[in-house]
Amino acid sequence: MTKLIHTMVRVSNLTESINFYRAALVLDIKDQYVFDNFTLTYLANPQTGFELELTYNHNQSEQYTHGNGYGHIAVTVEDIEQAHQRMTSLNIEASDIKTLAHNQIHLATFFFITDPDGYKIEFLQRQGRYL
């Protein structure tokens, strides 16, 4: 049986990205490994064992592209309204809160933010399949 352990994104400014994820998702550095050409930083919080790996390539000068296959990272929160207000108070632009139904049954309540490198992050109300 497999176990999901982390998602990796490449970042152009490691300090800015760490600060963003610390503020927006309340993630802290769990481990960090500095190599000659790159740094791997693992972020997590006590809520989950899943980690976000930030890869910073020291000599990368070109912006990364996401192509058309990347979607988003998703997190759940107890109170979607409070989370949305928190993003606004941090001066992080958040989309409007939206709902999604399937076969006329409420499926999700959510909004999106974007990190400094353009990666989308979905905030979902913790309910139903999104516990």
Catalytic residue numbers, as ranges: 122
Q: φ, ψ for residue 116 (rounded to 5)?
A: -60, -20
Read off the tokens for 71: 């979607």
Residue written as tokens 């979902």?
124
Residue written as tokens 């001066």?
91
Residue written as tokens 């791997």?
40
> What is the spatial distance between Cα 31 and Cα 41, in angstroms, rounded to a whole number?
6
User: Which one-letter amino acid corresponds to residue 25?
Assistant: L
